[in-house]
Amino acid sequence: MAEITFLQAINEAMSEEMRANKNVVLIGEDIGIYGGCFGASRGMLEEFGTDQMLETPISEEGFMDLAMGASMIGMRPIVEIMFGDFSTLVSDGLINHAAKYKFMTGGQVEVPLVFRAPFGSGTGAAAQHSQSLETMFTNTPGLKIVYPATPYDAKGLLKSAIRDNGPVLFFENKLLYRAKGEVPEGDYTIEIGKADIKREGTDVSIITYSRMLPVCLEAAEQLAAEGISAEVVDLRSLKPLDTETIIKSVMKTSRALVVHEAPKFGGFAGEVVAAIMESEAFYHLDAPVARLGGKEMPVPYNPDIEKQIVPVIDDVKETVRKLVNNGGVKV
């Protein structure tokens, strides 16, 4: 096991898959000489050259269509865009085409491509470069959506995404790029659609993903000093969603809090809450399921205000205390 950053894990996963399969190619803006907008492909051009790395003009819709065509004739493209906000520009290709070709051709045409995009606030990049737009895609049948929080999960899930025979959206949070963690040096994969219990607990299930995982883990650590045992569930994949792990956790703890960075209204937490309420876990609840999400506003440029629009450790702790101590009517 080596301790590397999230960014290095992404680089290793792509490099290993490109060495193993010449049909795996990386497509995007500034991915070559510059090494990617955030450095994910640094050093790869020297090894793989222009045969497996295609630097593109600033035309997201154009190179997404290029990648879709390439995937249909045997290539396995990885598409990188500079900021996840620009996924609005490729949404036509992903939602109206890549997600539907296999269905519309009776299984004759597959689209094995990976779309990588950095999302999230906290870097001072302001309203058009700091959003979390995952729910724009979760309502589209045919897409798989992965959102890891640790270097170990990032590498294993990205390798699985590259080997998958359908379109996989691989979302990365910018503030996690420098996070470090232990990662095996050999080849390994993580199954898409499997959540992970990052911390065992008995009093409340905190269900989260991506950047909010370290926030929730720290909150759980501090709550333990108060005698509250919080279980932290990392979804890792939004689609398919591992409802089995969610339900088992909530049946054990009888309380649940769902946390994400994206705005609360219309956020993915609503889908998780519905999964709990429509399952046997509903009959085990000792309190209504709670949600924490971002504020209903564009991400501000001002760093002090920017910090206040997403859930923080104290928000998680306060909500958990209310669930445990003032849970409402016992179901």
Superfamily holding 2-183: Thiamin diphosphate (ThDP)-binding fold, Pyr/PP domains (3.40.50.970)
| 85 CB neighbour count, 10 Å cutoff | 20
CB 145 within 8 A of CB 92: no
Q: Is 129 tagged catalytic?
A: yes
Q: Write the burial class of residue 6 (CB in 10 Å: 0-12 exposed, 13-18 middle, 19+ buried).
A: buried
Q: CA separation (Å) from 149 to 164, 168, 246? A: 20, 17, 17
Helix, strand and coil percent figures for the chain, each rounded to 5: 40, 20, 40
pLDDT above 70 covers what percent of the chain? 98
Kindly report, residue by residue over 124-171, the tens digit of the pLDDT: 999 999 999 999 999 999 999 999 999 999 999 999 999 999 999 999
| DSSP category for residue 4 | E
Instruction: Write out pLDDT tens, residues 187-198.
Output: 999 999 999 999
Residues 6+ apart with CB under 8 A from 204: 228, 229, 230, 231, 253, 255, 256, 257, 320, 323, 324
- Strands (E) located in the chain: 2-5, 24-28, 53-55, 76-80, 114-119, 144-146, 168-173, 180-183, 196-199, 204-208, 230-234, 237-239, 256-263, 290-294
196-325 and 2-183 share a CATH fold: yes
Please tell me the pTM assigned to this model: 0.95
Tokens 């609503």 belong to residue: 270
Domain-wise residue ranges, the chain:
2-183, 196-325
pLDDT of res. 223: 98
| CA within 13 Å, CB half, 234 | 23
Per-residue model confidence (pLDDT) at position 331:
35
Q: Which two tokens stand for residue 2?
A: 């080596």
- Phi, psi for residue 127 in degrees, rounded to 5: -65, -30
Strand order in the sheet with 53-55: 53-55, 24-28, 76-80, 114-119, 168-173, 144-146, 237-239
Q: Which of 326, 252, 242, 251 is nearest to 282 (CA)?
A: 251
Distance CA 150, CA 323 (A): 28
pLDDT of residue 328: 45
180 beta partners: 5
For 196-325, CATH number out of 3.40.50.150, 3.40.50.720, 3.40.50.1370, 3.40.50.920 equals 3.40.50.920
Taking 50 as the pLDDT cut, the residues of the chain under it are 328-331
- And the tokens for 77? 């493209």
pLDDT in tens, 51-62: 999 999 999 999
User: Which residue among 97, 129, 260, 284 is the active-site one?
Assistant: 129
